[in-house]
Chain A
Amino acid sequence: MALTDAEIKELEAQAWQLRHDIINVTVWAGGAHIGGGLSMLDILVLLYFKYLNIDAAQPEKEDRDRVVVSKGHGGVGFAPVLARRGYFDFDDLKTFNQFGSPFGMHLDAAKVTGVDVSTGSLGHGLPMAVGLALGARTQNKAWKTYCILGDGECNEGTVWEAAMSASHFGLTNLVTIVDRNGYMIDGATEEVMELEPFSDKWRAFGFTVLEVDGHNFADLAEAIDTSLAADGPCVIIAHTKKGRGIDYMEGNVKWHYGSIDSTLADKARASVDRMYGKA
């Protein structure tokens, strides 16, 4: 499914819109995990606007592809994608974090249309994704399972329990993508708890490793194609920037979670526009 130039342009336009959306939701929510929401955004845009076999009009469609956003705190990045894909009105997100809202910082599958799996506690997503993929295979279903992990999350032992089982069971209907933005709450991943040699670790667990620029749609698409065609489990290590698109947030650990006032929001919007050449 190589991307045409026109498709890439379209995806870039979606991503530009969604970066603005994320800024707006962060303002409405009074604060959000904006850094990690922005780092995984392009992965989600590519999945939701190109790859996934889904139908927003039939969110429970049995043969739909499943997505597990294992880094559940990325909800501020995920919810706007679902809104723009047509699962609900974007304006519904004005209630984000408010009393009784369906939208909290970690999305609840029972409350948010389009979310397949409730996540939030780290290290839970890949085991559930393995279960989904095994379930599909056992029932001879063709749908795929996509799992997006945070890199800091890979400190959790359960990620490796799941990795071991994905390769033991020889799963080929699971696409695992790590949003390798290099940061966790307390600092750089390599300072808090070293992950490198990260690729070697995945390889040792039986995965084929595909390292790509996680903000480059063409590269990401190629890696997903490779993963879908492989005869064993693959992991796509998507090198990303935390806070991608907002200059004062990029690579700044302070913006793992934060609030922005109208001045900061304007600066953020201007930065996003500059990145997309719209300033």
Chain B
Amino acid sequence: MSEVTGTTWTVYDANSMSQAEIYGHVLCEIGEERDDVVGLTADLAKSTKIGLFGDKFPERFFNVGIAEQNLFGVAAGMALSGMTPFVSTMAAFASMRACEQVRTDICYQNLNCKIIATHGGISFGTAGSTHNAQEDVAIMRSFPNMTVIIPADGIETANAVRACVDWDGPVYIRVGRGFEPTWYDTEDYGFQIGKAVTVSEGTDITLICCGVTVLQAAEAAKVLKEEDGLSVRVLNLHTIKPLDEEAVLKAVLETRRVITFEEHNIYGGLGSAVADVIAESGKGCAFEKVGLPDAFSLVGYPEDLYAHYKLDTNGIIEKVREVMGRDFEEDEDWEDEV
């Protein structure tokens, strides 16, 4: 196992471990500390890496076979019995095949079920639209009681998984498929559910990101500073719900230009959540949502797809330059805008 000892936690060598793998190891650690934690999957023990927990705690691990609806129903029952289930399958199946079980069995009863969904977005790009999840955030954030988190990388996945154990109620954590590059090199940067993390300070424009786009935006910000002299703020808004509205409003007031980047349909995800806050604030702002267009994704390797959908560093740079040239009311008199 590629693992080195860190200051606060065990720090995982996230460059050679997938997000899912890190999740699997973290869950094993949690399993040591908490005997109420139980693992559940639907024939994806290996793909989602929850199987690592299963190997270590076979008496607390249940594979229900290829039956996702039963998976979430059983998880709800186990939560009702007093246990804390961690449930893993692909994001597409958690959010769509088992949509009603997640909503009605788990959220309606506000149960302590932690859904760690892998293969989020288009990270399983060659598998095509049956296995992509470009709607899951919209679905999950529309359920009362649900908390929705998209970690930026493997390190943040470790933080999110640890944080969700004691977070009351259902949590949906969406991670990628494979060896997504990492932004963080330590877990010790103040991760808190519901609080945005400032990746870089800036005053000209704010890029609000989650998941894989965090690293890409951070890289773009460096290039834009060097080549265009721009001061670019990058926010890692890992928690889509509850949303850190204060961080969004601060970005609007201080930079007056905002772009969201996400691996999700532009309808209903991070961009929509941020747009709601901006619209209700009554403040003028140049704003654009960048994500997957309202169409089923092309087939391809994730890095090619990210480039195609302007979610990689070059795409982000291009979008920033475009939005920097956009007009909007720039005076400081907010009264006439409310």
Contact = CB atoms under 8 A, between A and B. Distances in A.
B partners with A: yes
Interface of A: 62, 66, 68, 108-110, 116-118, 120-121, 123-124, 126-136, 138-139, 141, 145, 157-158, 161-162, 164-165, 168-169
Contact of A132 (B38, B65, B72, B80): B80
A118 B67 CA distance: 21
A129 B109 contact: no
Contact of A161 (B69, B75, B85): B69
B30 to A, nearest CB: 16
Contacts of A141: 81
Contacts of B79: 131, 135
A102 to B, nearest CB: 15
B77 interface: yes
A172 to B, nearest CB: 16
B6 interface: no
B80 A157 contact: no
A132 B73 contact: no
A124 B101 contact: yes
B292 interface: no
Contacts of A157: 69
Given A131-B73, A161-B69, A162-B74, 19 more contacts: A66-B81, A68-B77, A117-B80, A118-B108, A121-B104, A124-B101, A127-B69, A128-B80, A131-B74, A131-B85, A133-B77, A135-B77, A135-B79, A136-B81, A157-B69, A158-B69, A164-B65, A165-B67, A165-B74
Nearest to A143: B81
Nearest to A137: B81
B137 interface: no
A129 B81 CA distance: 10
Nearest to B68: A161
B81 to A, nearest CB: 3
B247 interface: no
Contacts of B105: 124, 127-128
B102 to A, nearest CB: 11
Given A110-B110, A139-B82, A164-B65, A129 B77 contact: yes
Interface of B: 38, 59-60, 62, 64-65, 67, 69-70, 72-83, 85, 100-101, 104-105, 108-110
Nearest to A162: B70
B109 A132 contact: no
B83 A169 contact: no
B109 to A, nearest CB: 5
Nearest to A68: B77
B70 A62 contact: no
Contacts of B83: 135, 138-139
A158 B109 CA distance: 19
- Highest count of chain A CB atoms <10 Å: which of B70, B82, B85, B110: B70
A121 B103 CA distance: 11
Nearest to B101: A124
A130 B70 contact: yes
Nearest to A156: B69
B100 A121 contact: yes
A233 B66 CA distance: 21
23 contacts: A66-B80, A68-B77, A110-B110, A117-B77, A117-B109, A121-B104, A127-B74, A127-B76, A127-B105, A128-B77, A128-B80, A130-B73, A130-B77, A131-B75, A134-B81, A135-B81, A135-B82, A135-B83, A158-B70, A158-B73, A161-B67, A164-B67, A164-B70
Nearest to A126: B73
A135 B70 contact: no
A105 to B, nearest CB: 15
Contact of B82 (A62, A130, A164, A168): A62
Contacts of B109: 109-110, 117-118
Contact of A135 (B69, B72, B80, B108): B80
B198 to A, nearest CB: 38
B39 to A, nearest CB: 11
Nearest to B72: A127
Contacts of B75: 131
A118 B105 CA distance: 7
A124 B62 contact: no
B69 A131 contact: no
